[in-house]
Amino acid sequence: MLPTVGIVKVLYDRLKQYPVQALVVDPVMVSTSGDVLAGPSILDTFRDQLLPMADIVTPNLKEASALLGGIKLQTVSDMRSAAKSIYSMGPRNVLVKGGDLPASSDAVDIFFDGLEFYELRSARIQTQNCHGTGCTLASCIAAELAKGSQMLPAVRVNRVSWTKGF
């Protein structure tokens, strides 16, 4: 979690100095339950510095909304528009996580690689124990990329495998 502008800037400087094989940015700012985890002051720094360096950014619906100035995301179409808008900020790929999308009985994620949209659906898991699922997914994607996988297969494989833990 990157709670301050200063920490985001330090990370940005270090990533410029020491490039990584694949940068997965999970903008942990707002939890799925609605808890604000980072101040709004970091949004500009996040957009201007980290997103252009990212190989993939993985916001949940509330984080995507925050990155886009507070627009409401209520449908799959909204998620596609959000993914495209976030992509225009510089990351090479975007995965908008819609596990709590109100207009769907499924968990729906939208992956956008700049050319095509991929709608990734699975049954929504009804549980009270789902904190950290987005962080877990981002970590799984990072691990798969570190093993040499391409982006879309890394997202698909890990999206399936991490849901088995719930």
CB 93 within 8 A of CB 101: no
Percent of the chain with pLDDT over 70: 79
Average pLDDT, whole number, for the chain?
A: 85
pLDDT, one tens digit per residue, over 73-127 is 999 999 999 999 999 999 999 999 987 787 777 789 999 999 999 999 876 666 5
> What does the pLDDT read at residue 84?
99
- How many whole angstroms separate alpha carbon 83 and alpha carbon 134? 16
Report domain 5-160's class: alpha beta
- How many whole angstroms separate alpha carbon 151 and alpha carbon 54? 12
- How many whole angstroms separate alpha carbon 10 and alpha carbon 59? 21
> What does the pLDDT read at residue 9?
92
With H, G, I as helix, E, B as strand and everything else as coil, classify residue 24. Answer: strand
pLDDT over 70 at 19, yes or no: yes
> What does the pLDDT read at residue 16?
94
CB 120 within 8 A of CB 110: yes
Q: Return phi, psi of residue 11, to 5°.
A: -60, -45
> What does the pLDDT read at residue 13?
95
pLDDT over 70 at 153, yes or no: yes
Its pTM stands at 0.87
User: DSSP label at 161?
Assistant: H
- How many whole angstroms separate alpha carbon 53 and alpha carbon 153? 21
pLDDT over 60 at 151, yes or no: yes
Residue of 166 and 124 predicted with greater confidence: 124
Show me where the domains of the chain are located. 5-160
Q: How confident is the model at residue 129 (pLDDT cuts 50, 70, 90)?
A: low
What is the maximal distance between C-alpha atoms in the chain? 44
